[in-house]
Chain A
Amino acid sequence: MNCTDFLAKLTDYFDGQIDPDLLAEVKQHLGTCHHCEVVVDTTRKTIDVYRGHQPYEFPEELSLRMREAVMERCRATGKLPEVEKRASKPVPH
């Protein structure tokens, strides 16, 4: 297996969807090719860093605002019954 063959199998290798014979060849190649070893290591870290650090915030305030807007649009279609009003704060006398 050369580097080009290895790259062609990289996605299956990461996703654990590689048959055992091919996996042995991939591992053998990785043991002898430092460049491919670096590519595997840094690609894995690339995936991990994106999974571990969501760059976009999703605050509760945004969630609530969007949900209420969607539900209002849905109710306006007449397909949903009017829900009872949420408990409002007692009006002071």
Chain B
Amino acid sequence: MATSIPSPEENLTDLVPGLPPDVLAEPPHPDVELVARAKAGDAAAFEQLIRQYERQIFRTAQHITQNREDAEDITQDVFFKAFQKLEQFQGNSKFSTWLVRIAVNESLMRLRKRKTSKTVSMDQDVQTDEGSIPRDFAEWRPNPEQNYSQAELAEILRKTIAGLPPGFRTVFTLRDIENLSTEETAEALGLSVPAVKSRLLRARLQLRERLSRYFGKTKEGSK
């Protein structure tokens, strides 16, 4: 006898008649289960969460601090703090966004320690107008990065992003390199969406201007 298999939605609504339809709209993110298991003391589940996000957290920390050893320490601290505070994670945001937020705070704190006489915050240097108006209108050569070795290119990219104020560097890293949405970036940094957009524009324009020195058709540093 052929019987149709009820969909998971039908099962759920049978079990919980009052369940609002939007609860069924999207399946829960796989991290939700891993976090729940980790909260219950499942070490393998927490290790899996580390595996998933360690690269992103490490790169974010290194982009902000510009220091590899700091990034390593910060990555370890981020996951340890996350573990200690797992009970506080309510699942209102993505687990990865929560981790990034911890990583940004830890990284800025590390920068503050390094520059004891200077305040380092998301607002540092963002009041300037530098780079908000393009000045270089030289076209770039086609595939300009191919004129450099991998090591040369990595050095150019490191030097270029290191020259941005931390507030711009962080927004560019999260939004354009780590591919967070504008809203997730705002949430991770505790900024408004318009503030993220404004900083992102200026970060992109400043990086463009600086890379033009290497990639522009008529520039001195170009190969």
Say whether A associates with B.
yes
- Whether A12 touches B80, Cβ cut-off 8 Å, given contacts A41-B139, A41-B140, A50-B157, is no
CB pair A56–B204 under 8 Å, yes or no, is no
Cβ–Cβ < 8 Å partners of A81 in chain B: 41, 43
Contact with B205, one of A43, A49, A50, A77 (Cβ below 8 angstroms): A43
Cβ–Cβ < 8 Å partners of A53 in chain B: 145, 150, 153-154, 157
Cβ–Cβ < 8 Å partners of A28 in chain B: none
CB pair A10–B80 under 8 Å, yes or no, is no
A12 to B204, CA, bound (A): 13
Residue A22, interface by CB 8 Å: no
A52 to B79, CA, bound (A): 27
Cβ–Cβ < 8 Å partners of B63 in chain A: 56
CB pair B201–A11 under 8 Å, yes or no, is yes
CB pair B207–A71 under 8 Å, yes or no, is no
A63 to B212, CA, bound (A): 34
- A89 → chain B, closest Cβ, in Å? 22
A4 to B144, CA, bound (A): 28
Nearest residue, chain B, Cβ from A75: B43
CB pair A50–B161 under 8 Å, yes or no, is yes
Cβ–Cβ < 8 Å partners of B112 in chain A: none
Cβ–Cβ < 8 Å partners of B76 in chain A: 66, 69-70, 73
Total chain B interface residues with beta-carbon distance under 8 A: 53
Residues 69-99 (chain B) with a chain A CB within 8 angstroms:
71-72, 75-76, 79-80, 83-84
CB pair A7–B139 under 8 Å, yes or no, is no
A42 to B204, CA, bound (A): 10
A33 to B45, CA, bound (A): 54
Contact with B54, one of A15, A66, A73, A79 (Cβ below 8 angstroms): A66
Residue B107, interface by CB 8 Å: no
Interface stretch among B1-9, B23-31, B121-129, B130-138?
B130-138
Contact with A58, one of B59, B179, B211 (Cβ below 8 angstroms): B59
A45 to B211, CA, bound (A): 10
Nearest residue, chain A, Cβ from B62: A56
- B174 → chain A, closest Cβ, in Å? 12
Residue B168, interface by CB 8 Å: no
- Where the two chains meet, the residues of B that have a C-beta atom closer than 8 Å to any C-beta of A are 41, 43-44, 46-47, 50-51, 54-55, 58-59, 62-63, 68, 71-72, 75-76, 79-80, 83-84, 133-134, 137-140, 144-145, 150, 153-155, 157-158, 161, 172, 176-177, 179, 182, 197-198, 200-201, 204-205, 207-208, 211-212, 215
